Every structure is written in C-alpha cells, then in structure tokens.
Structure 1
Amino acid sequence: MTTAPRYVPASALVTTAMAAEEAAVVPDTIRKWVQLKHLTPAGRRGRSHLFRLEDVFAAERATRRAHERRARA
C-alpha cells in the first residue's frame, strides 16, 4: 500500500544552501546525502531541490551517529 505524499507549504521548505547552513555542513554534503538516499527532496523550485528542515536534521543526526560508530570501532 502506498501513501500519498504529505502536502508541505513551499514556505516550509529550504534550498540546498539553506539546508547546509542549518546543518552546519557544506552544500556538497547535502547533495551527497541525497545521492546516498539519506535525504529525500520534498520539492523543487526550477532545477533546485527543496528540503524540509526536519528531514535535513534527521539525515545529519544519522550521519553523525554512523561516523561516531566507525570512529569507536
């Protein structure tokens, strides 16, 4: 069973640059998270991806936890 995507107002979405700034990473990191399927864009404005901040923060937390686990190993 598939669910319909939730409607998110465009004002609640941020660009790649804004997402990177909020997560304290560079924009290339946001693009890498998308490539690795750690983060899914919630929309588009022209050719640019738009993201929900809560998704960005979740990807950032998951990535940091993975790095911490590898550092302890």
Structure 2
Amino acid sequence: MTLVTAALAAQETAVVPDTIRKWVQLGHLTPAGRRGRANLFRLEDVFAAERATRRTHELRRAES
C-alpha cells in the first residue's frame, strides 16, 4: 500500500492541500498513517473523498 502526503494527494485531485485537510476535518477522508507530524493518505481514499464531495456540491447546485 502506497501512502502519500496531503500535498501529493492535493496535486493528484487538482485541489489545494487545505482542501485535503478540510476533508479530514469533515470526516470525508481518514489518514492511513503518519510520517512525523504529517498525515499520510491512501490515494484510493483520496479519490473516493473527492468523488463524494463533488457529488454533494453537484446536488446542492441542482437544488438552488
């Protein structure tokens, strides 16, 4: 299992690292490990969180 930093996870999903941290705060993404103080993530978890948040945003836009 390959783990990536928030910066690399953000790069792979075309968001800023703050977005990755926000997904963690909101419970959309759970770190799979740590390196020092940095959270590490499985890319498949990151992509799943990205899909879930995109669906939520699309639903909210459709309701407006």
Aligned residues: 63
After the TM superposition, list the runs of 4 or more consecutive aligned residues in structure 1 that deviate by more than 4 angstroms: none
- Residue of structure 1 in register with 2:48 after alignment: 58
The correspondence of residues 1-73 of structure 1 with structure 2, limited to 5 A, is 8=1, 12-73=2-63
More RCO (CA 8 Å, sep 6+): 2
Cα separation, 2, equivalents of 1:43 and 1:23? 19
TM-score w.r.t. structure 2 length? 0.97
RMSD: 0.5
- What is the rounded CA distance, in whole Å, between the counterparts of 2:37 and 2:46 in structure 1? 19
Identity of paired residues, percent?
A: 78
Distance 1:55 1:24 in 2: 15
Unmatched 5+ residue regions in structure 1?
1-7
Q: String of CA shifts for 1:22-64, please: whole Å, max 9, x gaps.
A: 0110000000000001000000000000000000000000000
Larger helix proportion, structure 1 or 2? Answer: 2
Which 5+ residue runs of structure 2 have no aligned equivalent? none
Whole-angstrom CA distance in 1 between matches of 2:12 and 2:50: 10
